[in-house]
């Protein structure tokens, strides 16, 4: 990047050449814009990672709820257990799992997020 600014004087006529202070200001502006872009990219990555971890936790909870639902005895039920009822219950438990992952404190999503965001510090060789 620095070579671009130092070689700029070859291509720009002397009366149009930028002063050193203008070049330094332009250089610092580019660096700050690059840092801001990197920060926003990191924030977007963190947001996506949190969402993905929460979705994984919801899938895990859904599997747990499905296993629990299979143990319920429906022999004395007032409502006939048909295909429509099974579909409705499946959709209901799917929503339950999403809500539980968002507000419940199972901690699976938090643990996964921490594990994915930890920086591995390698010893000096």
Read off the tokens for 22.
């203008």
Indicate whether 122 belongs to any domain.
Answer: no
Count of domains observed in the chain:
1
On the question of pLDDT at 4 being above 60, the answer is: no
**For 78-110, how does the pLDDT look when each residue is reduced to its tens digit (9 = 90+)?**
777 888 888 999 999 999 999 999 887 789 999
Range of 106's domain?
Answer: 2-117
**Nearest Cα residue to 109 out of 61, 63, 69, 71:** 61
One DSSP character per residue, 43-55 reads: HHHHHHHHHHHHH
Q: How many CB atoms lie within 10 A of CB 54?
A: 17
Q: Has this prediction a pTM greater than 0.75? A: no
Indicate whether 125 belongs to any domain.
Answer: no
Indicate whether 75 belongs to any domain.
Answer: yes
Indicate whether 50 belongs to any domain.
Answer: yes
**For 44-54, how does the pLDDT look when each residue is reduced to its tens digit (9 = 90+)?**
888 998 999 99
pLDDT band at 3 (very low <50, low <70, confident <90, very high): low
Indicate whether 77 belongs to any domain.
Answer: yes
Indicate whether 81 belongs to any domain.
Answer: yes
């Amino acid at each position: 990047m620095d070579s671009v600014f130092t070689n700029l004087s070859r291509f720009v006529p002397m009366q149009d050449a930028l002063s050193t202070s203008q070049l330094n200001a332009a250089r610092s502006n580019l660096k700050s814009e690059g840092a801001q872009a990197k920060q926003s990219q990191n924030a977007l990555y963190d947001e996506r990672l949190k969402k993905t971890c929460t979705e994984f936790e919801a899938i895990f909870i859904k599997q747990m709820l499905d296993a629990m639902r299979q143990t319920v005895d429906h022999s004395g039920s007032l409502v006939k257990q048909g295909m429509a009822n099974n579909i409705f219950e499946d959709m209901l438990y799917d929503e339950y799992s999403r809500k539980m992952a968002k507000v419940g404190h199972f901690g699976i999503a938090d643990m996964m997020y921490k594990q994915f965001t930890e920086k591995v510090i390698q010893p000096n060789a």
